[in-house]
A and B are shown apart, each in its own frame.
Chain A
């Protein structure tokens, strides 16, 4: 509005100057006056534009400030540098512990299978000793159970942070980003029909499979 009225006023002044200058030689002073009028017009224009741009910039700055706060609350560095590596290490420990326990159980089972049954007393000693070791090996379940609980807690923590971040920023799911590596993995899974272990509800049981081979 301010710009429009200023422009209209300045246009009138230029028109009046031009009318006065008709049939006369244009003097340098007239040109200077016209330039001054033009400059005043543009000043008003830029002034109005400055205010709009300033407001936009201020809104963007405040949005960035809020986003920084939301990102900071997400604690991405802590998640990446602490929670996720710890969860990974816990899972590695679970794999190692189950592997070690399975090895020990199998080793003892094999000893029993290979034991000489011709001497009952010696056989009983071997069996008792192996069974004790099998019991001991089974104690892995307690420790791995605790480790898995820690991993589940970490996953819940991450889920909580991410959902709070999504709510705060109002972000919506975009198109799925798939890296080249992931794309190759998905392609292989599709071609090779790799689903991995299924839950009991989704799995086809052995009896149903047997029926397909009858």
Chain B
């Protein structure tokens, strides 16, 4: 398994899945953050941080070193979609793997997110197997 494989569309790199990397969970519902945190813990992730919206997430991303962002779409004031575009537009953050976990399930949303550079897309409600599969897909693990 190569450590760095360029993804064709967004210049995001595949990296070996490192369970000690910092994961940022962004959602405006505390319960959802708690659910994703627990699922990530079950999957073996040790360092999980959270933010209540895109603005807080962007500020944390600029200050810290995160290996993965798992974000909701519909938040205020900054949506997950806006956060994704900000991340991709930032030279330092541009290659951060980004998974959207959202109830926005219209094809229009998926296409827009893909165009903006999302690495994977999960529709709520979801289960642990789906989350695991998408994380593995983003990091190029079988």
Contacts and interface: CB of A to CB of B under 8 A. Distances in A.
B112 interface: yes
Interface string B9-30: 0000000000000000000000
Interface stretch (A4-12, A58-66, A69-77, A189-197): A189-197
A154 interface: no
A203 B103 CA distance: 9
A194 B79 contact: yes
Contacts of B109: 193, 195
B87 to A, nearest CB: 16
A198 interface: yes
A144 interface: no
Contacts of A109: 38
Given A99-B31, A212-B110, A203 B38 contact: no
Interface residues of A, number: 23
7 contacts: A113-B38, A192-B79, A197-B124, A198-B103, A209-B105, A213-B120, A213-B121
Given A103-B31, A109-B38, A209-B123, A197 B81 contact: no
A196 B104 contact: yes
Contacts of A197: 103, 105, 124
Contacts of B38: 106, 109-110, 113
Interface string B22-51: 000000000100110010011000000000
A113 B41 CA distance: 10
Interface in B96-114: 103-112, 114
Nearest to B82: A192
Give 5 closest A-B pairs by Cβ, nearest first: A203-B105, A197-B103, A192-B79, A204-B107, A198-B105
Given A204-B106, A209-B121, A196 B31 contact: no
Among A103, A113, A203, A204, which residue has the most Cβ atoms of chain B within 10 A?
Answer: A204
B48 to A, nearest CB: 14
A103 B34 CA distance: 9
Q: Which of A109, A205, A209 has the most CB of B within 10 A?
A: A209
A109 B120 CA distance: 28
Contacts of A99: 31
Contacts of A205: 105, 123
A179 interface: no
